[in-house]
Amino acid sequence: KQEVTQIPAALSVPEGENLVLNCSFTDSAIYNLQWFRQDPGKGLTSLLLIQSSQREQTSGRLNASLDKSSGRSTLYIAASQPGDSATYLCAVSGSGYSTLTFGKGTMLLVSP
Amino acid sequence: DAGVTQSPTHLIKTRGQQVTLRCSPKSGHDTVSWYQQALGQGPQFIFQYYEEEERQRGNFPDRFSGHQFPNYSSELNVNALLLGDSALYLCASSLRLAGGLKETQYFGPGTRLLVL
């Protein structure tokens, strides 16, 4: 059974800092990995998707890497802003038809 | 282009009651998945519907059932509600291709269910 762990559970940083969120998964036979953002009480917004054959994806200030063999992914946020404050969720898909297995998320607070 | 919509946004029920939640997928999508997210937890997969049939199911009791209509919209029904069913229920839609799901599942805003 796939298990996804995210570290740290919560993170508080001052504006402008670069930061790294970590995600690990127990079964390396994944189809893809996604990072989502969730604002309080809201749905999920997909940030980045990495196929199992890829090593990283970038979107603006966000960069996600994937090391499938070691079961790890990192989300790097450059020059953090207060608007980045949210919960970040990592999820893996075991096959093209399978569903997502989520971690519990990292709650990020960026203070001005 | 409307994204995934869910109704209602909030719902309060008492133990033992039954509830129906609704989801309309993103235009062009044919597959709907339902997730339950308890407070402070990541979403957990309930089941997935495609071509009006339940295709996959997570570790949820039979009290949780669903339906998909010919227009691809879907309902989630929960019978005999328990306090522990209080959660945010998320619907996600995607397009099933020959080689697998479309890359990204699009999530709706969720329905917040409170069971008293």
Q: Is A73 exposed, middle or buried (0-12, 13-18, 19+ CB in 10 A)?
A: buried
Question: CA nearest B38 in A: which residue?
Answer: A104
Question: CA nearest A88 in B: which residue?
Answer: B42
Query: At B85, is the pLDDT very low, low, confident or very high (cuts 50, 70, 90)?
Result: very high
Partner residues linked to A88 by β-bridges = A37, A106
- B43 reaches A (C-beta below 8 A): yes
Which of B63, B3, B51 has the alpha carbon at shortest distance from A97?
Answer: B51
Compute the distance between CA of residue A14 and CA of residue B43 in angstroms, rounded to an integer: 29
Least CB-CB distance to B41: which of A91, A99, A104? A104
> Mutate which of B86, B103, B106 to disrupt the A interface (most A C-beta within 10 Å)?
B103
Question: CA nearest B91 in A: which residue?
Answer: A43
Cβ neighbours of A41 in B, within 8 Å: 88, 110, 112
Compute the distance between CA of residue A88 and CA of residue A71 in angstroms, rounded to an integer: 18
Q: What's residue B96's pLDDT?
A: 81
Convert the pLDDT of each residue in A49-107 to its tens digit. Answer: 998 899 999 999 999 999 999 999 999 999 999 999 999 999 999 876 668 999 999 99
